[in-house]
Amino acid sequence: MRRPNYEDVRWDHGAADAAMGACERCAAELDRTLGDTGHAAAQARAQWQGNHQDRFAQERQALNGHGRALVIACRAAARAIATASQQAYEEQARRLRERAAYEQWQREEREREAREEEERRERARQQRV
């Protein structure tokens, strides 16, 4: 049986959880801010006329697009961190299972070798008698 990997997975689950939380809070704050500025922009737009109103609307649309892209990116980052955390957990669990199986195999091998040695001694003792 092949010797398993005895190095633990290097992953800080606490830091990963904190990073996921930060990404989710950032996305939520951006969402809230986009909503708030949308209401304020609607009121401001009502006061503007002509070219200025059109330009304001175009710039607001571009800013909203960038803001939505940031929200999506923050949520995607949180999901990626969650996926990496789950993979680290699963890999560590796999390594622990492999170690346990290897150590069980080693115990069984030592026991088998001890039995065989005892049988050899017994045969040698019987041959001398």
> Average of pLDDT values for 9-18?
98
pTM greater than 0.85 (yes/no): no
The predicted structure's pLDDT at residue 40: 85
Q: Is the pLDDT of residue 98 over 90?
A: yes
Reading the block at residue 101, the tokens are: 């199986």
> Average of pLDDT values for 19-48?
91
The predicted structure's pLDDT at residue 57: 87
The predicted structure's pLDDT at residue 44: 80
The predicted structure's pLDDT at residue 50: 84
The predicted structure's pLDDT at residue 128: 86
Burial class (CB in 10 A: 0-12, 13-18, 19+), 60: middle
The predicted structure's pLDDT at residue 112: 98
Q: Which CATH number fits domain 13-95: 2.60.120, 1.10.287, 3.10.450, 1.20.1110?
A: 1.10.287
User: What sign does the dihedral 22-90-93-4 (CA atoms) show?
Assistant: negative
